[in-house]
Structure 1
Amino acid sequence: MSDDGSGREPVEETPVANDGGASLVSRVFQALRNRRRRYVLSYLRDREQAQLDDLAIQLAAWEQDIPPDEVSSEDIETVATDLVHTHLPKLEDYGLVDYDRRTETAAYTYTPSLLNEALELAVTIENP
């Protein structure tokens, strides 16, 4: 299935014992495949959790290369909607983020060294 947000991909929650960790590697790289998800993970890695609006503001600022206080309310709403309907559910499926819809709080829940190393490389290259 494509990574365009048209549907959620089924993902194993834990690696199969005899796959050498391949399902974990697959989950990490599927999560990091999309720039917005990389930004979510980068933001949450440093804070552990964040309110949806704060996350949307920062992602929109990084994506537009502007200060957070210059992000328009329309851009915040667009990013927040995309996060709620596409990226946060995928990151939950991958077992990397927990999103509480009631409190609109996202939390970084899984920190394997592979994810941290891959995310650090992506952050170094993109420098959000």
Structure 2
Amino acid sequence: MSKCPRRHETEATEGDTTKQDIAFKLLSDHLRHQILLSLNTHEEPTLSELATALQESERIPETDLERIKIQLYHNHLPKLEDAELIDYDSSQRTITRRQLPAPIKKTLKISSNCDESPADV
């Protein structure tokens, strides 16, 4: 008897696959990837807190903090929310990470354990 799962046990539905494909495409953007990683350690941050955390972790000059906030608000957060990876409460300006699909969690876990930056490779 085979120990491998049967094909129908591992196949995602078409809707699941599409959502995962979209999520992985979104994660290909470095800043969006960092947003989800940051939400592992900053539970329900405000837009300003998230921007500051990203600015510090990415070593972005403090003078660019306002630019980061604008990018988050107009670009990155709406895309992550549309993909159902986060919830953004615009009245409170708080961000909450949703339950992530297992492949996305695994990708984030692997990347968070990576100590080398592309310049180190």
TM-score by length of 2: 0.75
The percentage of aligned residue pairs carrying the same residue is 29
Contact persistence 1:38–1:122 (CA under 8 A): no
Contact persistence 1:91–1:97 (CA under 8 A): yes
Task: Map 1:68-107 onto structure 2 (within 5 A).
Answer: 72=62, 74-107=63-96
Indicate the SS of the match to 2:114.
helix
Contact persistence 2:20–2:101 (CA under 8 A): no
- The answer as to 2:35 corresponding to 1:40 is yes
The amino acid of 2:38's aligned partner reads Y
Give the number of the structure whose alpha-carbon radius of gyration is greater: 2
Are residues 47 and 64 of structure 1, via their aligned partners in 2, closer, same or farther at CA, if it must alter by over 3 Å?
closer
| CA distance in structure 1 between the aligned counterparts of 2:74 and 2:52, rounded to whole angstroms | 17
Q: Which runs of 5+ in 1 are unaligned?
A: 1-16, 66-70
> Match for residue 122 of structure 1?
111
Report the CA distance between 1:46 and its aligned residue.
2.7
Are residues 53 and 20 of structure 1, via their aligned partners in 2, closer, same or farther at CA, if it must alter by over 3 Å?
closer
Question: Which residue, out of 5, 8, 17, partners 1:22?
Answer: 17
Contact persistence 1:50–1:106 (CA under 8 A): yes
Per-residue CA distance 1:42-82 (angstroms, 9 max, x = gap): 111233311111100111112217xxxxx52x322111110
| CA distance in structure 1 between the aligned counterparts of 2:116 and 2:32, rounded to whole angstroms | 14
Are residues 104 and 90 of structure 1, via their aligned partners in 2, closer, same or farther at CA, if it must alter by over 3 Å?
same
Per-residue CA distance 1:14-57 (angstroms, 9 max, x = gap): xxx74283213202202211111111101112333111111001
Q: For this pair of structures, how many residues does the alignment match?
A: 106
> Match for residue 26 of structure 2?
31
Are residues 85 and 32 of structure 1, via their aligned partners in 2, closer, same or farther at CA, if it must alter by over 3 Å?
same
Contact persistence 1:97–1:106 (CA under 8 A): yes
